């Protein structure tokens, strides 16, 4: 059994690659980072350190590594004979993988089982996005594509921080993990990956994960940054930060319970567990990593605006979420291109225009006015710009 995994970074090595390896797959890592691929190609194994309660270490071997830019043809040949393709590259990168995957599917032997494709990104229905991109570039009939590949949405959850300098390929991760996959596209032939939860309706799970783990995490990062914290665990140890994160998750809990019918007590237990995970002092996770790409995180279907919009549509005022969005506007990290892009929008566009550019909200939406007001406080000519 062979899996090709795009993105040999934190979650790639520390979670998806690990679970596929433990399921018995040979994993071919494909990445554009030359040094990383060189290191993987020349090292027979690496170690995943799970830290926190019940710490343990796991060894990953039986893998190969290819540079998906300079060894594109080799990657295509690997995918053409693989069982599974997974990705963990960031949602905005999926469009660059699509032509390679499309060419590999077209080259696939018709006798082979359909290729099983799962994007493991923090975004709602990221695999659908990849599927659409593959369809655009696929050189063959749509029917043929449907017969040769299965695209399944997933929700992945494990906190994997940026790794310390000098740690090589080894990865430090939390002990917790959850990988939920939509069972429906597989027509009963789901791969056997121990640890995966298969569901018939992914929507509640992906929204619960994104609007609890990622909303709370990003809120901790932006409030923590404002409070001068470097590590997420330190941010959470500051009660002024933790209480605002709790308030944010109180709001998303209200929406999730109302929209998906989650039991309020179970959702509260889920929230508490996640707050505990954020406070894991063994995990060297930083506000800079968790706050990365603030423009993406302020997008329409993302962790702040989507739940806040859902609450506003129900006539509620998502005050805590708006506070987190405002904190996001003040976030800064030296090497983050989205920080600069966000600053440019705030500096050059009027508040209404900037609100739509950043959040995708249209002027008629019940959340629009409140967001425009906070954007105005950080926009053209204001102190926060
Ligand atoms: N780290 C986490 O805790 C975590 C948890 C769940 C989900 N995720 C999601 O997983 C994805 C990856 O996150 P990460 O933290 O591992 O980031 P990362 O930066 O550590 O890894 C991303 C990797 O993708 C590679 N890459 C970029 N462009 C590529 C391309 N065109 N082709 C092949 N590889 C390419 C990069 O070189 C890098 O090695 C994101 O969507 C993130 O939201 C992360
Ligand atoms: O990866 P991002 O930038 O979408 O979000 C940053 C973190 O919140 C995220 O990576 C979490 O660690 C992860 O989603 C936990 O499952």
Which ligand lies nearest to the CA atom of residue 178 in the structure?
A: 2
- In this structure, whether the domain defined by 204-378 belongs to CATH 1.10.1040.10 is answered with yes
Average pLDDT over residues 102-109: 94
| pLDDT of residue 385 exceeding 80 | no
Q: What pLDDT sits at residue 379?
A: 83
| String of DSSP letters for 325-339 | HHHHHT---TT-HHH
Average pLDDT, the chain: 96
CATH 3.40.50.720 domain locations along the chain: 2-201
For residue 382, what pLDDT band results from cuts at 50, 70 and 90?
low
Best probe residue, ligand 1, of 90, 215, 297 (max atoms within 8 Å of C-beta): 90
CA 90 / ligand 1 centre spacing (Å): 5
Please state the pTM of the whole predicted model.
0.96
Residue scoring higher pLDDT (11 or 381): 11
Average pLDDT over residues 135-142: 86
Q: How many helices (H) and strands (E) does the chain have?
A: 19, 12
CATH 1.10.1040.10 domain locations along the chain: 204-378
Average pLDDT over residues 176-193: 97
Close Cβ partners of 221 (under 8 Å, ≥ 6 residues apart): 232, 235, 287, 288, 290, 291, 331
Q: What pLDDT sits at residue 381?
A: 61
The pLDDT tens digits of the residues spanning 201-215 come to 999 999 999 999 999
Close Cβ partners of 239 (under 8 Å, ≥ 6 residues apart): none
| pLDDT of residue 362 exceeding 80 | yes
Indicate the CATH number of 2-201 among 3.40.50.720, 3.40.50.10420, 3.20.20.70, 3.40.718.10: 3.40.50.720
Which ligand lies nearest to the CA atom of residue 218 in the structure?
A: 2
Q: Is the CB of 338 under 6 A from ligand 2?
A: no
- Interface pTM (ipTM) of the complex? 0.99
């Amino acid at each position: 059994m062979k899996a090709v995994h795009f993105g040999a970074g934190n979650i790639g090595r520390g979670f998806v690659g690990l679970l596929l390896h433990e399921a018995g797959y040979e994993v071919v890592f494909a990445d554009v980072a030359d040094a990383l691929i060189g290191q993987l190609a020349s090292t027979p194994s690496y170690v995943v350190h799970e830290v926190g309660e019940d710490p343990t270490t796991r060894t990953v071997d039986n893998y190969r590594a290819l540079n998906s830019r300079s060894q594109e043809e080799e990657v295509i040949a690997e995918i053409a004979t693989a069982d599974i393709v997974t990705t963990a590259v960031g949602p905005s990168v999926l469009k660059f993988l699509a032509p390679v995957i499309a060419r590999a599917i077209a080259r696939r032997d018709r006798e082979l089982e359909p290729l099983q494709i799962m994007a493991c990104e923090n975004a709602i229905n990221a695999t659908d996005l990849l599927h659409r991109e593959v369809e655009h570039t696929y050189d063959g009939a749509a029917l043929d594509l449907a017969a040769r590949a299965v695209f399944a949405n997933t929700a992945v959850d494990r906190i994997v921080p940026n790794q310390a300098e000098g740690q090589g390929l080894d990865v430090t991760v939390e002990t917790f993990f959850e990988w939920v996959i939509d069972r429906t596209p597989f027509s009963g032939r789901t791969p056997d990956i121990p640890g995966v939860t298969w569901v018939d309706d992914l929507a509640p799970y992906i929204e619960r994960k994104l609007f609890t783990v990622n909303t709370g995490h990003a809120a901790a990062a932006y409030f923590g940054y404002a409070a001068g914290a470097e590590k997420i665990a330190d941010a959470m140890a500051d009660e002024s930060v933790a209480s605002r994160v709790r308030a944010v998750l109180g709001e998303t809990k209200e929406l999730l319970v109302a929209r998906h019918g989650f039991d309020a007590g179970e959702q509260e237990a889920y929230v508490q567990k996640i707050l505990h995970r954020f406070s894991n002092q063994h995990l060297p996770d930083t506000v800079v990593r968790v706050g990365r790409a603030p423009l993406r995180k302020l997008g329409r279907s993302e962790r702040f605006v989507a739940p806040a919009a859902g609450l506003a549509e129900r006539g509620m005022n998502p005050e805590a979420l708006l506070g987190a969005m405002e904190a996001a506007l003040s976030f800064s990290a030296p090497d983050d291109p989205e920080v600069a892009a966000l600053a440019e929008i705030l500096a050059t566009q009027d508040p209404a225009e900037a609100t739509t550019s950043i959040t995708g909200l249209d002027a008629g939406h019940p959340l629009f006015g409140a967001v425009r007001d906070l954007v105005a406080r950080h926009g053209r000519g204001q102190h926060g710009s």
